[in-house]
Structure 1
Amino acid sequence: MPASGNGARKKKAPKLYRVELDFRIRRPPGWEMENFDALGVGPVLHSPQGERSFPPLSETPRLLIDKSLGRPPVDWELFHDFGLASDRMMSVLEAVDAEGVAFLRCETRSLRGGAPAYWLCDIVRTLDAIDEEKSNVEVLDDGTDFRRYSYMADSSFVFREEVIGSAHIFRPRFLDGRVICDQVMKDACKAAGLKDLRFQDPYANWKYARP
């Protein structure tokens, strides 16, 4: 049956998800960064101000992984400003969107022999994709280098689809504590059997704005 009007069906905006570790995992992870003090980064490992990347490290991060420390590590763990990704998680992220991620391999060991490979991981793509005029957002520290959006629950954000383009995973500018992915990335993670990740509806009422 022919379409009405100009015959062109409006493209549906891709669905977005907030990517998180499943916080229903209550047991502590069974690993520790045993040479953290020697990395030369101070008390917190975080990106340099104004960009997403790994800071210069004095040594290769070294993980001790052992069940005596807690539960087995999952495919995605949180570590300060970054993540720790299993080989399987790293492979999925690189295959789907290599330009949006960066990895630094850690040395791993166990008290009982071999240990699985893990990578320090960062989502390095930051997009200025939130339409402030159409969003309900409180801007904090406006006009400074620390400008950011409030995480208050009554905020809502409208995304500009043309800015996101073909990106499958990214951080919103001024809200870079959040990691957002699309359906393609979610489906790839599910197909690879990655567990203990949650794909939530993005924070508050995320929407798309078309150009």
Structure 2
Amino acid sequence: MNEQTAIPVSVDTDSHQGEFFILTSSFWGDGRFPGLEIVNENALIAPGMLVVAPPTGDPDQYPERPHLVHIPEKGGMPRDFEELGGIWIISQALKDVFAAVDPQAFAFTACDFTLADGSTGPQYYFCDVIRRVDALDVPASRVKVKVDRNFITGEDERFYSIAGGASLVFKKDVVGSAHIFRQPHCALDPVCDRVMHDALIRANLSGVELQDASAL
């Protein structure tokens, strides 16, 4: 694999501040974690896979409804936004925001949730951003470019790395009306625009972290 730093940006990336944001679940801090487990995890793993896959939007993806349980010995009650084994786990309140702003971008799967005393907890969902848009403006961004050979097609493919910091600029005409998407060929959490950012801020939800894509 070849790795090289992209050509230095020729535009002022400061002018792109506040346009796009990386959406992630924030760390708890102080050595704390959510006390969540998927009790029927093994039943949800597809044949040939090692872990539970994020939801795809297929209503028959999982053979049974995911079942979460709170274990106080392991951590606190889940916030509005958690990530467990690579799967977003979100509250009803966060789902409502996502569905109101950009419903076609997401896949949701409702979960059962049992509290430590055996009673039923609030509604949570598995969630994933299923829209992919190749909108990265590479010449205008500061990002490492990796080139790797695809041995199936025989062609070189470009991958983007933000390791060590990056400043990402996205083409608005390519993004179009999308308010959140995943950037292909980049190990990056989903990218959202100002509309989604502002809706999440107004909702004042716990566990939501938004980082300006122009200053990673």
TM range (shorter): 0.7 to 0.9
Deviation at 1:97, TM superposition (A): 0.6
Matches of 2:130 and 2:90, distance apart in 1: 14
Residue 87, structure 1, aligned to residue 98, structure 2: no
Match of 2:176 among 156, 165, 169: 165
Structure 1 residues 160, 101: CA separation in 2 closer, same or farther (over 3 Å shift)? Answer: same
Match of 2:136 among 125, 130, 146: 130
Matches of 2:90 and 2:167, distance apart in 1: 30
More off after superposition, 36-45 vs 133-142:
133-142
CA offsets 1:107-160 (integer angstroms, 9 cap, x no match): 211232121111000011111001234444333353427853223225443311
Match of 1:116 among 90, 111, 122: 122
Q: Which residue of 2 aligns with 1:96?
A: 101
Residue 46, structure 1, aligned to residue 53, structure 2: yes
Matches of 2:28 and 2:74, distance apart in 1: 18
Deviation at 1:67, TM superposition (A): 2.9
Matches of 1:110 and 1:24, distance apart in 2: 20
Q: Which residue of 2 aligns with 1:7?
A: none
Deviation at 1:105, TM superposition (A): 0.6
Deviation at 1:199, TM superposition (A): 1.3
Q: How does 1:1-211 map to 2 (within 5 A)?
A: 15-25=19-29, 26-41=31-46, 42-46=49-53, 53=56, 56-112=61-117, 113-140=119-146, 142-144=148-150, 148-175=159-186, 177-202=188-213, 204=215
Is this contact kept in 2: 1:40–1:58, CA < 8 A? no
More off after superposition, 68-77 vs 168-177:
168-177
Q: Which amino acid aligns with 1:84?
A: I
Structure 1 residues 157, 186: CA separation in 2 closer, same or farther (over 3 Å shift)? Answer: closer
Is this contact kept in 2: 1:130–1:157, CA < 8 A? yes
Q: Which amino acid aligns with 1:102?
A: A
Deviation at 1:94, TM superposition (A): 0.2
Is this contact kept in 2: 1:17–1:201, CA < 8 A? yes
Q: Which amino acid aligns with 1:18?
A: I
Matches of 1:94 and 1:118, distance apart in 2: 14
| Unpaired segments ≥5 residues, structure 1 | 1-11, 206-211
- More contact order relative to length (CA 8 Å, sep ≥ 6): 2
